[in-house]
Amino acid sequence: MDGLESAAVTTLEQPDAGSSQDSPGPETTLAPKRPLRELGINLNHWYVAAQSKELGTEPLAVTLWHQPIVLYRDRAGTPIAVEDRCPHRQVKLSEGTVVGDNLICAYHGWQFAPDGTCAHVPYLEPQQKLPTCTLRQYPVKEQDGFIWIFPGEAPLTEQVAPLPVPEWEHLNFIGSVATIDVQAHYSFLIENLMDMYHGHLHQDLQAWTQPVLRSLESSDTRVDAHYDAQSYYRINKIWSVSQLFIPALRQLHPEPLDVSYVYPNWVATLGQDFKICCLFCPVDEAHTRAYLLHFTSLQAFHRLHKLPVGFRRWIKNRLFNAAQPLLDGLVVQDVLMLEQEQQSFEQYPDRKGPELNRALVDVQRLIRKQAAMDPQR
Ligand code: FES
Ligand SMILES: [Fe+2]
């Protein structure tokens, strides 16, 4: 703690200092009072499952909120997602192979078409018919470099969309990706991401300091927290990167730091130069996978925009993942804290500390609202 929290709370309505990590509030009428750290997810959203480049014609196993799913690409390159369980003997289809457009179980070689129907049994006798057992098929989309799955009610598929990440393809943004695989409930991760006061943990690994929560907006689908921060990095002054490693050189200037929980994902911007997203794939109550995306804007380099597109594409590709070591360093620090929070919750579920960041009270409220909409709750 460095006193920044007290600066924030004096500018805002003081939350109940005795409020817990599972803050009481009006949301308690919307869902049974289960511990926040045991709540499910709202399945009626698109969840990231993999990076596009991770998916080929080999089966890829993923788990999305207790549901084992196998992904693969058909001959046209279209992603297919079906349940990862052979209806014959309940083994994992991801142990099998893909031939043509069909997924073949490793055990007896039954084949399943992309729509989940059984397409072939190698030893079917002449008088026997193909079994009618059908795999559950999941709506799947490929967008902005990622594969997205909709695990909810099929009629609602088009009512929501995967989080747009246009910077992934845009020539003026350099992207980097880190993966997060943390043995903790997803609420611990989103609270970490929305709480800029935890910058205390990262010290020399981030381009800003001294955050102060200025305002907060919340709805049934998102929480937007606006912090004022001090940045010591200017993208068009390449030398300023040295300030990251040599604190004595730091020259601060104010920058807005906006962070948003756009359920179920997270988006943040620091001024005009940086955007970071976190795409969530909650695995179960104590395991969360996510992709952390960092984009550096090249908008300030006006001369660059006049160069041939092919060259700009080359620069973008060449610099891809330049920030990954930095992201990995942040993730290691965060994962250590998140897993300790989870372990502490499991050991002492009633032990709760005061929450002084008002943004987190709204984040917890949103988690409860969305979990209450879970159709399989
Ligand atoms: S268990 Fe899959 S074909 Fe028999
Ligand atoms: Fe962090």
Model pLDDT for residues 247-300, shown as the tens digit of each residue: 666 678 899 999 999 999 999 999 988 999 999 999 999 999 999 999 998 877
Percent of the chain whose predicted confidence (pLDDT) is above 90: 72
Q: Which of 64, 293, 345 is nearest to 188 (CA)?
A: 345
pLDDT digits (tens, 9 = 90+) for 348-368: 999 988 999 999 999 999 999
Q: How far is the CA of 88 from the centre of ligand 2 (A)?
A: 45
Q: Residues 186-195: what's their mean pLDDT?
A: 98
Ion ligand 2 — residues with CB < 5 Å: 334
Check whether the bond before 264 is cis (ω within 30° of 0): yes
Q: What is the pLDDT of residue 11?
A: 34
Q: How far is the CA of 59 from the centre of ligand 1 (A)?
A: 16
Q: What's 4-34+163-372's CATH class? A: alpha beta
56-158: CATH architecture: 3-layer Sandwich (2.102)
Give yes or no for residue 175 having a pLDDT over 60: yes
Q: How far is the CA of 83 from the centre of ligand 1 (A)?
A: 14
Q: Residues 301-318: what's their mean pLDDT?
A: 86
Distances (CA, A) of 205 to 217, 323, 332, 338, 357: 28, 11, 11, 18, 22
Residue carrying the six token digits 């001959």? 75
Q: Which ligand places an atom closest to the C-alpha of 90? A: 1
Q: What is the pLDDT of residue 373?
A: 87
Predicted TM-score (pTM) of this structure: 0.88
Higher pLDDT, 236 or 226: 226
Instruction: Report residue 20's pLDDT band, with 50, 70 and 90 as the boundaries.
Output: very low
Q: Which ligand places an atom closest to the C-alpha of 195? A: 2
Pocket test for ligand 1, best of 103, 110, 130 (most atoms within 8 A of CB): 110
* Nearest atom within ligand 1 for CA of residue 91: 1
* Nearest atom within ligand 1 for CA of residue 121: 3
Instruction: Report residue 243's pLDDT band, with 50, 70 and 90 as the boundaries.
Output: low
104 ligand 1 Cβ < 6 A: no
Query: Where are the domains positioned within the chain?
Result: 4-34+163-372, 56-158
pLDDT digits (tens, 9 = 90+) for 35-90: 999 999 999 999 999 999 999 999 999 999 999 999 999 999 999 999 999 999 99
| Nearest Cα residue to atom 1 of ligand 1 | 89
Give yes or no for residue 226 having a pLDDT over 90: yes
88 ligand 1 Cβ < 6 A: yes
Residue carrying the six token digits 């043995």? 183
